[in-house]
């Protein structure tokens, strides 16, 4: 008589990880869908209202249940835990990618990112002053759209003489005309998963890394890659 082997069956199957947002995370609403996704094969009266939002501290997109009849609006921002306690938002439905966004969310996203970068200028300026190499042939600065080797060396040589004190200082001493716009383009690429290495978005955090993937730490890890000593 054969006995079933331990570890087989339902318990051995990998469980899909539930998504969540930390209660202290600052989020901003990108779109409100009072009847959910109308394209789904579910009667309207059974659809749950949801919102699409972005976590502004780690740049991750989510769909979250909206409490029916709440007064939450597009562009509203607040601490996720507070929005739950005030009966405006419910549980996280799922983490989403850029291509899951509604036209309204996509139209608003870049201005939301631009505002956030402006609010956190010192943190992003720190990146330009302390970014380092990923491989012997690739520097983190080169991940930013529009920055090739020539501009990369301009930035490195300028900051070696004196650290950048502001974005205006960065613009005046290098060929970069609009660093905020370039950072927005990079974050959008990360949200599109159109990158191999992630610098600012944690959209890939809970997913299994491929064996051939060599990604630098995110800026929210304990030791962000660009906080290490510059190799140049």
Q: Please tell me whether residues 72 and 137 are part of one structural domain.
A: no
Is residue 95 in some structural domain? yes
Q: Is residue 135 one of the residues assigned to a domain?
A: yes
How many of the other CB atoms lie within 10 Å of CB of 38?
A: 9
In degrees rounded to 5, what are phi and psi of residue 12? -80, -10
Q: How many helices (H) and strands (E) does the chain have?
A: 6, 7
User: CA-CA distance, 176 to 20, in Å (whole number)?
Assistant: 37
The residue ranges of the chain whose pLDDT is under 70 are 1-18, 38-46, 206-232
Judgement on whether residues 153 and 94 belong to the same structural domain of the protein: no
| 67, 142: one domain | no
Q: Which residues contact 20 (CB under 8 A, 6 or more apart)?
A: 92
Residue ending a domain, choose from 104, 137, 152? 104
* Same domain as 162, residue 90: no
Same structural domain, 132 and 191: yes
Task: Look up the pTM and report it.
Answer: 0.79
Is 7 a member of any domain? no
Q: How far is CA 7 from the centre of its chain?
A: 37
Q: How many domains does the chain have?
A: 2
DSSP 3-state assignment of 2? coil
Angle, helices 121-130/179-191, rounded to nearest 10 degrees: 90
Task: Give the CATH number of the domain where residue 154 resides.
Answer: 1.10.150.280
Report the CATH number that the domain containing residue 73 is assigned in CATH.
Answer: 2.40.50.140
Is 58 inside a domain boundary? Answer: yes
Q: Residue 229 has what pLDDT? A: 32
Looking at the structure, tell me whether residues 149 and 198 fall in a common domain: yes
Q: Which of 42, 75, 104 is the last residue of a domain?
A: 104
Q: Are 223 and 130 within one domain?
A: yes
| Residue 18: per-residue pLDDT | 66
Q: Are residues 220 and 142 in the same domain?
A: yes
The whole-number pLDDT of residue 36 equals 85
DSSP three-state, residue 76: coil
**Which of 104, 130, 152 is at the close of a domain?**
104
Examine the domain organization and report whether 148 and 198 are in the same domain: yes
Task: Answer yes or no: is 109 within a domain.
Answer: no
**Domain membership of residue 143 as a residue range:** 120-206+214-227
* Start-to-end CA span in the chain (Å): 67
Asked if the structure places residue 80 within a domain, the reply is yes
């Amino acid at each position: 008589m054969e006995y079933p082997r331990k570890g087989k069956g339902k318990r051995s199957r990998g469980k899909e990880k539930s998504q969540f947002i930390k209660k202290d995370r600052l989020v901003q609403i990108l779109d409100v869908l009072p009847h959910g996704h109308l394209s789904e094969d579910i009667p309207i009266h059974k659809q749950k209202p949801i919102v699409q939002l972005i976590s502004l501290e780690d740049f991750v997109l989510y769909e979250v249940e909206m409490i029916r009849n709440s007064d939450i609006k597009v562009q509203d921002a607040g601490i996720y835990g507070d929005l739950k306690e005030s009966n405006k938002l419910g549980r996280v439905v799922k983490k989403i990618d850029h291509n899951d966004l509604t036209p309204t969310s996509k139209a608003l996203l870049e201005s939301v990112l631009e505002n956030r970068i402006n609010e956190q200028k010192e943190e992003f300026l720190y990146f330009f002053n302390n970014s380092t190499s990923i491989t012997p042939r690739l520097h983190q600065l080169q991940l930013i759209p529009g920055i090739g080797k020539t501009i990369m060396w301009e930035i490195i040589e300028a900051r070696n003489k004196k650290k950048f004190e502001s974005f205006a200082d960065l613009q005046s001493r290098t060929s970069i005309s609009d660093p905020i716009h370039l950072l927005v383009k990079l974050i959008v690429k990360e949200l599109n998963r159109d990158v191999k290495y992630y610098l600012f978005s944690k959209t890939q955090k809970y997913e299994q890394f491929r064996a051939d993937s060599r990604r630098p730490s995110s800026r929210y890890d304990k030791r962000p890659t660009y906080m290490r000593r510059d190799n140049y």
